[in-house]
A and B are shown apart, each in its own frame.
Chain A
Amino acid sequence: MQAYGQQWFGNIRADILSGMVVGLALIPEALAFAFIVGVDPRVALYASFTMAVVIAFVGGRPAMVSAATGAMALVLVSLMANHGLQYVLAATVLTGVIQIFLGIFGVANLMRFIPNSVMLGFVNALGIMIFISQMPYLIGGSVLTYTFAIVTLILVYVIPRYFRLIPAPLIAIVVMTTIAFVSGVKLQTIGDLGTMPSTLPTFFMPDIPLNLETLKIILPYSLALSVVGLLESLLTAQVLDDMTDTSSNKNREARGQGIANFVNGFFGGMAGCALIGQSIINVKSGGRGRFSTFFAGVFLLFLIIILGDVVVDIPMPVLVGIMIMVSMTTFNWGSFTFLKQAPKSESIVMIVTVAVILYTSNLAIGVVVGVILSTLIFVANISRVHIELVDGIYKVKGPLFFASTSAFVKAFDEVTASRVVIDFEDSQVWDESAVGAMLKVREKLESKDIAVVFQGLNSSSKQLFEQFT
């Protein structure tokens, strides 16, 4: 890994340019995420600024962009609806604390236990949820609402064909807002959501009672936010490592996410994490260093303060169109091939993960259920032990451990020969239960006057066997 200074200033010119592109690209999404949670646009814009700037200093993956995200927004929806903004901010601070601890305890090392079927289920459910979250604003809307959303959607897909310098969603916003303004049509606008920031975010304590009741309300949300945020951040870090052929410190990133959220909550921002899409845009635009992330945040805030009066006129259906595009790119279309090709158990894990998330509207619960399910399936698969009788020798095939012992013991129920040889060449004795089962079989057979010989134990199995006998 490069030295810290090099990570900041090693690529300064390209970092400035890519930071500008990302800063531009952050605006439409931040606005739309605010719109999902139902908060003032400021809450998401401040979050994106604070997250980007703080993570530039404390993150583990240079050039990765963290800001307000759809995944975190979706977790916050019900907290906002039931308890209001102050609780959202408090939950953000607590999320930061949890993530800092998870980072210190090396949470990133646990990532390898999350199978890709669960990750796929996660991003697919996320895509579907973002899509569904936009439907209330379309269904039952006027023809005009539909027209604006659909034209925006077409623009964001067609513009990159001809012009790639400025992010397409931003161009679409400018074009559609101008059309709305010039034609004088009446549509709901950003201004109806709340006021735009005209100042830098300031430090303040979330206005909540500091008691157990509050903790009970925010803790479940903070836990979910921590899981979701780290999952998306560490996946993004992995993608960026690959794209840039460099490595990064994932536990430092987890800690950095925590610090960024902790600070973020005190400056009036909603919880955020790494944005896969924007991070990829950053690297594609040449960003490699910490400065690109830092500058993206600064440029975003600069634009918002300059353009605040114009931003309030952006029609909501335009944001709906952009969010539909975001949902389409979030969804992994390769999943359909995955379902056809992958082992059935992996497909089931993916589908269950999606189903649980959609049913509970909670991304974190789906991930936890998915991981537990795939672990159980793994244990069930590996606990299959066969005993084959070959030339008078009982050959044990499959590992012997607490979950496979009963099948092992049962296989010797009906033995009638006077001498039994049990071969462990294709097996592995894993734990005390396994040794116990071997002894039990021997005792049972010897009580029927059948001599028992164990053979073919590998060295670690033999060691374990001797340890318990």
Chain B
Amino acid sequence: MKIAVAVDGSEYAVRAAEFAINLAKHMPDAELEVIFVADFDKVKDDHLLTKSTDIIEWKREKKVNPVVELAKIDNIKARSVILKGKPNLEIIQYVNNNAVDHLVIGSRGRNTLQEMMLGSVSHKVVKRANCPVTVVK
């Protein structure tokens, strides 16, 4: 059973990750995929605030790697997936194309103001992902 969890470095994502690991613990042959999407709209700011591309990549990995490590402590097969693009679209596309059985996602992300304007990522993902989705509050 392939479980995916989408993280973005927010506290909601931490709770989603904990939930996903718990879920995986109770599933036979569970595999966990920790997804982070580097938002196209933030790439410019990433490069302005951090000089080296290697460090930018390291910062992105830092968002997913702790979750992978945490899962490994519980003997869960886990791997990180770093995507680039528009977060909701990339998550939907990945989940639908990679035979993910269950997606876990935080109810909100880091940028509450933007979500007020544009709607939350989780809302859009729930609408269009083909697998069951757990939204963690």
Interface residues in chain A, defined as those with a beta carbon under 8 Å from any beta carbon in chain B? 112, 115-116, 119-120, 123, 157, 160-161, 235, 238-239, 241-243, 245, 276, 280, 283-284, 332, 334, 338
Contact = CB atoms under 8 A, between A and B. Distances in A.
B115 to A, nearest CB: 12
Nearest to B50: A116
A238 B55 CA distance: 13
Interface stretch (B23-31, B38-46, B71-79, B99-107): B38-46
A88 B48 CA distance: 30
28 contacts: A112-B51, A116-B48, A116-B50, A116-B51, A119-B48, A120-B48, A123-B48, A157-B117, A160-B118, A161-B118, A239-B43, A239-B47, A241-B53, A242-B38, A242-B43, A242-B46, A242-B56, A242-B84, A243-B40, A243-B43, A243-B84, A245-B84, A280-B41, A280-B44, A283-B40, A284-B40, A332-B45, A334-B48
Across the A-B interface, the 9 shortest Cβ-Cβ residue pairs: A116-B51, A239-B47, A239-B44, A334-B45, A239-B43, A332-B48, A243-B43, A284-B40, A242-B43
A117 B50 CA distance: 9
Given A238-B47, A242-B38, A283-B40, 15 more contacts: A116-B49, A116-B50, A116-B51, A123-B48, A161-B118, A239-B44, A239-B47, A242-B84, A276-B44, A280-B41, A280-B44, A284-B86, A332-B49, A334-B49, A338-B49
Contacts of A338: 49
Contacts of A116: 48-51
Q: Specify the main secondary structure of chain A where it touches its partner.
A: helix
Interface in B3-38: 38
A337 B67 CA distance: 26
Given A161-B117, A245-B84, A235 B40 contact: no
A122 B103 CA distance: 42
Nearest to A124: B48
A160 B86 CA distance: 14
Contacts of B51: 112, 115-116
